[in-house]
């Protein structure tokens, strides 16, 4: 799952989240209950200085997972069906392989 933990990743991921069909994407950020700390899937703490999580207080459902849509992050019910934003490690390419 996507981990937005640097400005570089934020600047790449948020523009990708714009959708004409209003699809939001799960990230790897969640918490274990309201009032608890936000954690990435690898256990790292979320840095609130990087971006704001918009919480919908009108919903009676739990809002313990984070989606991104149109450049913003929203807390949503983890049981909702949504697409996932994932990371993929890049392969190391040696310069001599270009010859």
pLDDT of residue 90: 66
Which stretches of the chain are assigned E, i.e. beta strand? 25-30, 39-40, 53-55, 65-69, 72-76, 83-84
Q: What domains appear along the chain, each with residue ranges and CATH number?
A: 7-87 (3.10.100.10)
Q: Is the pLDDT of residue 99 over 60?
A: no
The residue whose two tokens read 């004409």 is 20
pLDDT of residue 97: 61
Torsional sign, CA 41, 57, 10, 46: negative
91 pLDDT band, cuts 50/70/90, is low
61 pLDDT band, cuts 50/70/90, is confident
């Amino acid at each position: 799952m996507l981990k937005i933990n640097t400005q570089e990743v934020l600047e790449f991921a948020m523009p990708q989240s714009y959708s004409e069909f209003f699809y939001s994407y799960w990230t790897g950020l969640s918490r274990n209950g309201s009032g608890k700390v936000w954690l990435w899937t690898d256990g790292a703490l979320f840095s609130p200085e990087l971006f704001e999580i918009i919480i919908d207080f009108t919903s009676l459902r739990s809002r313990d997972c984070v989606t991104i849509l149109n450049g913003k992050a929203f807390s949503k019910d983890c049981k909702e069906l949504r697409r996932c934003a994932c990371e993929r490690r890049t392969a190391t390419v040696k310069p001599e392989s270009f010859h």
